Amino acid sequence: MTVSNHPNPSRTWAETLSSPLRTAFQHPWVEGIVRLGAVEDTLRAVHPMLSITEARARVVRIVDETPDTKTFVLQPNALWQGRRSARAGQFVQLRLEIDGRRVERIYSLSSRPGARLISITVKRQSGGLVSPFLHERVKVGDVLTLSQPDGDFVLPDPLPEKILLLSAGSGITPVMAMLRDLQARGYPGDVVFLHVCRNPQALIFAQALRTIEEEFAELSLLVHFDDTDGPFTAERLQYAVPDLAERSTWMCGPAGFMDVVHRHWNSYAMAAPLHSERFVAIPAVPTTAPGTPVTVLLATSGKQFLTQGVDPLLVQAEKAGLAPKHGCRIGICRSCQCTKRSGTVENLQTGEISDTPNEAIRLCVSVARSDLLLDL
């Protein structure tokens, strides 16, 4: 057997150089001479994929999935650890500069874990900032900055014997990664993939789904088109999947779709687990929520603001002229997470009210229910 000493030929020279460069420039002696920012600027000028601090990815292909949805196929540099650590259903956070403004958005990985190339699939949102930018201005060859993979909406190990992957609209992206993962792992169990969309023209991953259906014998692929099949209801779900109560289910989609499924699940007290992830913002607060003014004190900066308890803390802080770090604004990415030293908050996703001191909270889905002291 011949052992080659040459670098992995599938990696670009920029990727190959990133790891040793990172080690060299992080040596204390070197750090004392050069500023890290200057090093980053120099490396970016040499090649935009080179970095000693940031995971970056080059756009190698753009696929038009539907008239308003594109898949961006990306080749990450060596600092992206997802080839070894990513799990199907997780997301990455893109960090972009749009017209001089730095913004961050999260997107589920639609590729299977372990793949050399990764992909995100983005539906253009009317009136949005980031999705129109990606659709109109990002081209093959561009380099994007991204986070490490994150998120708890993942398949377990070991896998259950019966699985239902349930999605609607652009919520198909994380469950598509799960389906690809199950196929790649040679899952021997019984999997049903049920997707809901308006019509065949709106079906994201249409060709990929057909290919997987032909190759993956354990898969039952079902698609519900609202325009011809009528509105999706709990009765239609039960008819399409008669053994629903026996299936561990992973679901993602718009709020209305998910509410239908959750109500059905709860009304029949189904024993099988239902895992879900929302792609839309949670309503700010129930209309019956108290509106008592409370004071939020920021321990690190010494600033404070008054809230009426109507909006999430992130919105309240922004109204007060503050700019807390944030990303998704829907409670997934944890960019706005901070420590609540004291006080009571309500979690808008779970309805839980907690006065536990020194607990981590996410500003975008937390509402003040008393005076608060935050570690910000």
pLDDT at 110 over 70: yes
pLDDT at 284 over 50: no
Question: What are the φ/ψ torsions at residue 22 (nearest 5 degrees)?
Answer: -60, -45
What CATH architecture is 294-374? Answer: Roll (3.10)
What is the pLDDT at residue 13?
54
Q: Give the SS3 label for residue 105.
A: strand
Closest alpha carbon to 166 in 255, 256, 280, 275: 275
pLDDT at 12 over 90: no
> pLDDT confidence of 82, banded at 50, 70, 90?
very high
Scanning the structure block, which residue is given the tokens 């997707």? 195
CATH of 162-278, one of 3.40.1190.20, 3.60.15.10, 3.40.50.80, 3.30.470.10: 3.40.50.80
> pLDDT confidence of 334, banded at 50, 70, 90?
confident
CATH class of 56-146: mainly beta
Q: Give the SS3 label for residue 74.
A: strand
| Beta-carbon contacts of residue 106 (< 8 Å; ≥ 6 apart) | 91, 92, 93, 94, 327, 328, 332, 333
> pLDDT confidence of 235, banded at 50, 70, 90?
very high
What is the pLDDT at residue 11?
54
Average pLDDT over residues 116-129: 92
Q: Are 284 and 311 in contact (CB under 8 A)?
A: yes
Residues 146, 168: Cα–Cα separation, whole Å: 26
Closest alpha carbon to 86 in 108, 113, 110, 119: 113
Give me the residue spans of the domains in the chain: 13-46, 56-146, 162-278, 294-374
Tens digit of pLDDT for each residue in 167-214?
999 999 999 999 999 999 999 999 999 999 999 999 999 999 999 999
Please spell the DSSP secondary structure of 191-207, one letter per residue.
EEEEEEESSGGG-TTHH
Mean pLDDT, the chain, rounded, equals 85
Closest alpha carbon to 330 in 125, 107, 55: 107
What is the pLDDT at residue 80?
94
What is the pLDDT at residue 24?
60
Q: What is the pTM of this model?
A: 0.71
Q: Which residue has the higher pLDDT, 35 or 160?
A: 160
Residues 306, 183: Cα–Cα separation, whole Å: 52
> pLDDT confidence of 231, banded at 50, 70, 90?
very high
> pLDDT confidence of 10, banded at 50, 70, 90?
low
Residue 227: Cβ within 10 Å count: 11
pLDDT at 2 over 70: no
Tens digit of pLDDT for each residue in 269-281?
788 899 988 665 4
Q: What size, in residues, is the chain?
A: 376
- The single-letter DSSP state of residue 171 is G
